[in-house]
Amino acid sequence: MAHPKVRTRALGKGLSALLEGTEGPASLEKIYRVSVSDIHPDPEQPRQDMDEEGLQSLAESLKVYGVLQPLLLKAEGQMYRLVAGERRWRAAQLAGLEEVPARVIEGSEGALREMALVENVQRKDLSPIEIASALQALIRRHGLTQEDCASRLGWSRALVANRLRLLNLPESVRAMLADERITEGHARALLGLETEEEMLSWAERAAGGMSVRQLEAALREAAASGRVVEKAASKSTPIQLPRRFRNYSRHGVRIRMSRRGEAARIVLENLKWIGDEQLMSALEECLQRLYPEA
């Protein structure tokens, strides 16, 4: 199946490094127009969570600008399997596009899986925890070292190590990071604490409005004075929000929820950017998360 070449573009460091010594780089220089219906998804795609609202938003953008970043595909008979770009492909379907730009690559299954993981890590819309999980998958599935990951991504080894350390946070604090109640800088500062209780206590304080520098200074002061870190004022457990609600933060909307025994708390702020139906949907899904046994 032949497709006309439309343009060429240099490869990113990560993809070039992955395919050194294979037939991939030569084919990657060509960008083809491929029918959307000739593409099928990879069942082992690294990221399975597809935000429906985000997809619809991307589809609206594609109607105006088209697909700007080519998909990566592997030829399989008369069809193509997605290596990277499933979100763009699904949004293109929603937008009613008949063709999308793509690079058709060759390589071993191991190299293609690794490439998909690298592309996933390099995306800008992933949370720090999702990036850390993808890095962990690169190391475990493909036998890579932290140095290998750093080389493929164009990162420093220290950055890779710091991202991986985020997985050592307790689940409650990871949920706060995923929901953007605290930043990655806050999370790294918390990793110096000894117990989960201390981490959660200080995470709650940081979420109340402390900057990273303020948190670091407070932790140094507490350590120097030998004070026992005060217990969190609340024993409530933060509950992670569904991904589609995290996208509201781009418009200044804040949705937080936590549970303490049978009691629950839902906090919604700056709601002028969402409609009544979206608000009711958010509340219903929050309640399902808080009381899954109901």
| Residue whose token pair is 């929603």 | 94
Three-class secondary structure of residue 119 per DSSP? helix
Helix residue ranges per DSSP H, 109-191: 109-121, 128-142, 146-153, 157-165, 171-178, 184-190
Cα–Cα dist 151/132, whole Å:
16
Residue type, 59: A
User: What value, to the nearest 5°, has the Cα angle with vertex 135 and ends 129 and 138?
Assistant: 145
Give the whole-angstrom CA distance, residue 242 versus residue 8: 38
Instruction: Spot the catalytic one: 60, 86, 198, 204.
Output: 86
Residues near 206 by Cβ (< 8 Å), separated by ≥ 6?
A: 182, 186, 190, 215
DSSP 8-state secondary structure symbol assigned to residue 10: P
Question: Contact 273/251 with Cβ under 8 angstroms?
Answer: yes
Counted residue by residue, the chain has a size of 294
The closest alpha carbon to 15, from 88, 111, 89, belongs to: 111
Catalytic residue at 86?
Answer: yes
39-40, strands of its sheet edge to edge: 5-7, 31-35, 99-105, 71-76, 79-84, 39-40
* Closest listed residue to residue 120, CA positions, set 47, 213, 21: 47
274 phi and psi angles, rounded to 5 deg? -120, 150
Paired tokens of 24: 């991939």
- Could you list the active site residues? 86
